[in-house]
Chains A and B, each alone.
Chain A
Amino acid sequence: MASSDTQWPRFQVFLQEKEGAAHQDVGSVHAPDPELALLNARDVFVRRPDCVSLWVVPADLIFARTAQEIAAGALHEAKKSGKPGSTPETYCIFAKKKSAGTQTFVGEVEARGPVEAMEQALAKFAGAKPPFAWLVFPQRLIVSSTPEDIESMFAPAYEKPFRLATDFHTLTEMRKIMAKQKEEGT
């Protein structure tokens, strides 16, 4: 069947900056399949910053709700439309703890569906200051880089010389040239 949407599927990208740190949502990439999604994620998100591990997850299988939506009955609504699975599986839980922050991995729960996973997360990970938003997905959906990938995928970026546009002093140079031209009357 012909589709008007010519885009490849979207994958959400989660990046771990250093050993022991939590994976954080950094954005998304389009890719025809998970393997290329992982490679695209490396090229889009790991050219400069530190990274030791990347996860990509199909974006349309991620269940995400804001605290505001949940307060307005979003989980109740979602329950009506989706049937829970028969056997529980592991869900990864991400929470956004600051309004301008990013979704950060906070832990795992065993649940029979995304709604149940989010309900458990609310009870287990909310803490004293409840997060602004939640994001959950089954752990089995993760396609991850391996520790062996660090050397070829992430390490080379550490030593790349990087010059900010301001390093070239373009404005100062242009002013000098213009002043000189003015002086010479050209």
Chain B
Amino acid sequence: MNADLEKALENYLLAMGDDELILGHRNSEWCGHAPILEEDIAFANIALDEIGHASVWYSLLAELIGEDSQSYPDRLVFFREARDFRNAQVVELPKGDWAFSMLRQYLFDVFENKQLLALSGSAHRPLAEAAAKIRTEEVYHLRHTAAWVRRLGLGTEESNQRLQSALNELWPLTSQLFVHLQDQAVLVSGGYVPGGEKLRQEWENAVVPFLEKCGLGVPETDPEDDERIGRDTHTSHLNVLLTEMQSVARLDEQASW
């Protein structure tokens, strides 16, 4: 693998890891607060799975650049500033109400399922193997969140309205998931990762009919808006999240766990 490819793959893995970490952390905020005990356990499980997946992507990144795969992920998580994170904004927004968190996780689950399916054929063998393995778990996440979205969408007038307003807020931000990283084209043409536009088509073909069946109206978006935000631009919410998440680790950088 030449240096350009390696750098591009490094950026891609970082973005994947950051998406999962930040979404997992947001979802973990429901722990102890979900509407019912069983769902509290279930959603905390999903949050923990996503953080576990982040750790897999960070470890692959560490191996790629010759860093220690045990300690490097912790450096990435606890000692980077908000501007150095490469997650999409959609995962850093506050958890909102139950409908918002469920819908966000559903939209991300479909994205991840399509992405992992493509990545399981990646020319980078370690990435292909990890993607195939993680995907089995994501199939379950999707089943869980789709079941909830269906029930909220077709439930009561209030649950439908809450879900619709969540969709109105989330929808424009989803396009950022598919925007190419600066040097992604070289990875796509080399068969390392899927192209954003193709992934977006597959994702839309799955989520749009489903959301409509759940009694929701999918907002119109202006395709011109899609190019506007790169993954180096964040809302102020990310900073607040990181300050809390990193506070303990930063008390004593040398502490062992």
Chain A residues bordering chain B, tally (CB within 8 A): 20
Minimal Cβ-Cβ distance residue in B for A160: B52
Verify B136–A44 contact, CB threshold 8 A: no
Partner of B143 from the list A8, A44, A152 (CB cut-off 8 Å) is A152
Q: How far is the CB of B132 from chain A (nearest CB, A)?
A: 11
**Distance of B59 from chain A, by nearest CB (Å):** 13
Query: Closest residue of chain A to B139, judged by CB?
Result: A152
> In the bound complex, what is the Cα–Cα distance between A31 and B38 (angstroms)?
8
User: CB distance A152 to B137 under 8 Å?
Assistant: yes
Mark A19-31 against chain B: 1 for CB-CB distance below 8 A, else 0: 0000000000111
Q: Does B45 contact A40, Cβ atoms closer than 8 Å?
A: no
Digit string of A41-56 for contact with B (CB within 8 Å is 1, else 0)? 0111001000000000
| Contact yes or no, A40 B140, CB < 8 A | no
Assess the A43–B143 pair: CB atoms within 8 A: no
CB within 8 Å of B: which A130-149 residues: none
Determine whether the beta carbon of B140 is less than 8 Å from that of A152.
yes
Known: A35-B147, A39-B143, A152-B143. A44 touches B137 (CB 8 A): no
A84 contacts the other chain (CB 8 A): no
From A29, A155, A160, A168, B38 is in contact (CB under 8 Å) with A29
- B250 interfacial by beta-carbon distance below 8 Å: no
- Taking chain B's interface residues, is the majority helix, strand, or loop, or is none over half, making it mixed? helix
The 8 A CB mask of B127-143 against A (1 = contact, 0 = none) is 00000000011011001
Chain A residues whose C-beta falls within 8 Å of the C-beta of B140 in the assembled complex: 42, 152-153, 156
CA distance A155 to B36 in the complex (A): 26
Looking across the interface, which residue of chain B has its beta carbon closest to that of A45? Answer: B41
In the docked arrangement, what's the CA distance between A17 and B140, Å?
A: 19
Q: Report the minimal beta-carbon distance from B36 to chain A, rounded to whole angstroms.
A: 6
Q: Does B125 contact A (CB under 8 A)?
A: no
Closest chain-B Cβ to A5's Cβ sits at a distance in Å of 13
B38 in contact with A43 (CB, 8 Å): yes
Kindly provide the distance from the CB of A165 to the nearest chain B CB, expressed in whole angstroms. 13
A78 an interface residue at 8 Å Cβ cutoff? no
Please give the distance in Å from B10's CB to the nearest CB on chain A: 25
A43 engages B41 (CB within 8 Å): yes
Number of interface residues of B (CB under 8 A): 19
B37 contacts chain A at the CB level, 8 A cutoff:
yes
Does A101 touch B at the CB level, under 8 Å? no
CB distance from A44 to the nearest CB of B (A): 6
**Min distance, Cβ B252 to any Cβ of chain A, angstroms:** 11
If A35-B147, A47-B45 touch, does A40 touch B136 (CB 8 Å cutoff)? Answer: no
Q: A152-B137, A156-B137 are in contact. Are A39 and B42 (CB under 8 A)?
A: yes
Within residues 149 to 170 of chain A, which ones have a CB less than 8 A from any CB in chain B? 151-153, 155-156, 160, 168
Q: Are A155 and B39 in contact (CB under 8 A)?
A: no
Q: Which residues of A contact B144 (CB under 8 A)?
A: 39, 43
The verdict on A152 contacting B36 (CB below 8 Å), with A39-B143, A39-B147, A43-B41 known, is no
Q: Which residue in B45, B137, B148, B151 is a CB contact (below 8 Å) of A43? A: B45
Establish whether residues B139 and A30, one from each chain, have CB atoms under 8 Å apart when the complex forms.
no
For residues 111 through 129 of chain A, which have their beta carbon under 8 Å from a beta carbon of chain B?
Answer: none
Contact yes or no, B36 A44, CB < 8 A: no
Tell whether, in the assembled complex, residue B38 and residue A44 are in contact, meaning their CB atoms are under 8 Å apart.
yes
Question: Would you mind naming 30 contact pairs between A and B with Cβ atoms under 8 Å apart?
Answer: A8-B36, A29-B38, A30-B36, A30-B37, A31-B38, A32-B151, A35-B147, A39-B42, A39-B143, A39-B147, A42-B140, A43-B38, A43-B41, A43-B144, A44-B38, A44-B41, A44-B42, A47-B45, A151-B136, A151-B139, A152-B136, A152-B137, A152-B139, A152-B140, A153-B140, A156-B49, A156-B137, A156-B140, A160-B52, A168-B257
Additional 12 contacts, C-beta under 8 A, given A30-B36, A156-B49? A29-B38, A30-B38, A31-B38, A32-B151, A39-B42, A40-B38, A40-B39, A43-B41, A43-B42, A153-B140, A155-B136, A168-B257
Closest 6 CB pairs of A and B: A43-B42, A152-B139, A40-B38, A152-B140, A156-B137, A29-B38
